[in-house]
Amino acid sequence: MAKVPVQFTLNGSEKAEFIDSGTTLLNALRDKIGDTSPKGGCHQGTCGACSVIIDGELRLSCLMLAETCNGATITTTSGLAVGGVLHPLQRAFLDTFATQCGFCTPGMIMAAKVLLDHTPNPSREDVVEALSGNICRCTGYEPIIRAVLAAARANPQNAA
Amino acid sequence: MALALQTFSTVKDADAALKSAGTRYLGGGTLVVRAANEGDVSVSGLVRSTDPALSAIAVSRGKVRIGASVTMAEIARHPELGTLAKAARAVGGPAIRNMATVGGNLFAPAPYGDFAVALLALDATVGTDEGETPIETFLAGRDDSRAIVTSVSFTKADSFRFLKVSRVKPKGVAVLSIAVVLEQAGDGTVSSARIALGCMADRPMRAKAAEKALLGRTLDPHGIAAALAAATKGTAPITDPIASAWYRAEVLPVHLGRLLLS
């Protein structure tokens, strides 16, 4: 099958690859580019483990074809830590024990990041709504909700 | 195996490419890529069009035209589509709403397709390059439809009401969904009614017996009793892991009653 070129910005750096036409963004990220932070859970759009941020919007990389992302700016959880310092959301997830097996965590953090980017000071209901497309089978969700609220409080802009 | 994707700038060229056997139109990917991931071997190639008209929303003097590639998230945040926002937000979680399109929702099998239920109550017309089709006709023939849907059009209705019942909050697959558009005479009696149901057949359907039973009645518990008794007439609810056909039929009158009295 003919290869097609894809080119996009991933976590601030330019990426260009030749891939099989019809390859999902999830498979291109994991197998071609080597970013394994998005996880393949259900491949059905149900679990949210493959969530990434494309041009500021939360998307499911398992249901997107990589070649439709040409020119896009893509953020994954592996791009959040800067210089070895964890992003406030990552720090909060660790501090509140919001990660157990860890499989849903990158998707949860992407969904939470989009929320905090648009709503720096969310209510509990905002957090529940923002995470409603992401499934966690370990935590019962409460520690995750607490982590997102804690990350929002840690934002200096929200200091009263 | 990966699927070859062909991208065209015009709907006309994409329509021509879609005539090849095994090709499917790629909208937001939430149905077609899902099917391919699931191993649906009937999908052998994908076609899409990047025509900007497919992504446009036009509202003028109460008439609404939504391009087929417009997403649920775009409808939910559009300032002039406030009444429809509830139906758009009923679809999926945040990521799905950023991807799922109006055009795709017309093809979503039950228990999906909540937005198409809203469009059916609104008496929308479905546009393709071949012309406009009433949504009821379109839904009945959708399995054999080969022309790319370009738009849906309808007249805004202030009386539009929508309810999706699901077990998981705030986001869950539908037990059922109901959309209602009513007109009332000066004395409060119902002069026209359109009631659309989701999950009560393999695709959105109208509750025509209930619509008829509402005419001339007032919206109070006594006035709607005949409509509720007739609500399940003609339905063939789906059975899936969310609910059995029996359960869906049992609870439909309860939820329809709550929506009519709300």
For the stretch B196-244, pLDDT in tens is: 999 999 999 999 999 999 999 999 999 999 999 999 999 999 999 999 9
pTM above 0.90, yes or no: yes
Do the Cβ atoms of A76 and A54 come closer than 8 Å?
no
- CATH 1.20.1530.20 is right for the domain spanning A3-79: no
pLDDT of residue B54: 97
Mean pLDDT for A93-105 is 96
Q: Provide, as residue numbers in chain A, all residues whose Cβ is less than 8 Å from the Cβ of B4.
A: 1-2, 21-22
Segments of chain A assigned to CATH 3.10.20.30? 3-79
pLDDT in tens, B64-82: 999 999 999 999 999 999 9
Average pLDDT over residues A99-120: 97
Name the fold adopted by A88-158.
Answer: DNA polymerase; domain 1 (1.10.150)
> Residue A157 — very low, low, confident or very high, per pLDDT cuts 50/70/90?
confident
Residue type at B216? G
Cα B51 to Cα B222: distance, rounded to the nearest angstrom: 51
What does the alpha-carbon distance between residue B206 and residue B188 come to, in Å, rounded to a whole number? Answer: 23
Say whether B33 and A1 touch across the interface (CB within 8 A). no
Residue range B88-114: mean pLDDT, rounded: 97
d(C-alpha A7, C-alpha B159), whole Å: 47
Partners of B28 on chain A (C-beta within 8 Å) are 63
Residue A159 has pLDDT above 70, yes or no: no
pLDDT at A158 over 80: no
In this model, does residue B30 exceed pLDDT 90?
yes
Whole-number pLDDT of residue A155: 82
Chain A residues inside the 8 Å CB shell of B46: 22, 65
Q: Give the N- to C-terminal CA distance of chain B in Å, as an integer.
A: 50
Mean pLDDT of A27-49: 97
**Residue A2, pLDDT score:** 79
Domain with CATH 1.10.150.120 in chain A: 88-158
Question: How many angstroms away from the CA of A68 is the closest CA of chain B?
Answer: 9
Please tell me the predicted confidence (pLDDT) of residue B188.
93
Bridge partners, residue B125, by sequence:
B134, B153
What pLDDT is recorded for position B3?
A: 81
pLDDT tens-place string over residues B42-52? 888 999 999 99
Average pLDDT over chain B, rounded to an integer: 96
> Whole-angstrom Cα distance, residue B96 to residue B30?
7
**Predicted ipTM of the assembly:** 0.95
Judge whether residue A128 has pLDDT over 90: yes
pLDDT at B171: 83
pLDDT of B57? 98
Kindly write down the DSSP assignment for every residue of chain A, as one continuous string: --EEEEEEEETTEEEEEEEETT-BHHHIIIIII----S--S-SSSSS-TTEEEETTEEEETTSSBGGGGTT-EEE-GGGS-BTTBPPHHHHHHHHTT--SS-SSHHHHHHHHHHHHHH-SS--HHHHHHHTTT---SSS-SHHHHHHHHHHHHHSGGG--
**pLDDT given at position A156:** 76
Of B28, B37, B73, the CB nearest to A62: B37
Question: Inter-chain contact A48–B37, Cβ cutoff 8 Å?
Answer: no
Percent of chain A with pLDDT over 90: 94
Closest in B2, B3, B94 to A133, CB measured: B94
Residues of B in contact with A134 (CB under 8 A): 93
pLDDT of residue A132: 96
Could you report the per-residue pLDDT of B253-262, keeping only the tens digit for each?
999 999 999 9
pLDDT tens-digit series, residues B126-167: 999 999 999 999 999 999 988 999 999 999 999 999 999 999
Residue from A51, A55, A58 whose CB has the most chain B CBs within 10 Å, to mutate:
A58
Q: Is the pLDDT of residue A93 over 70?
A: yes
Would you say residue A1 has pLDDT above 80? Answer: no
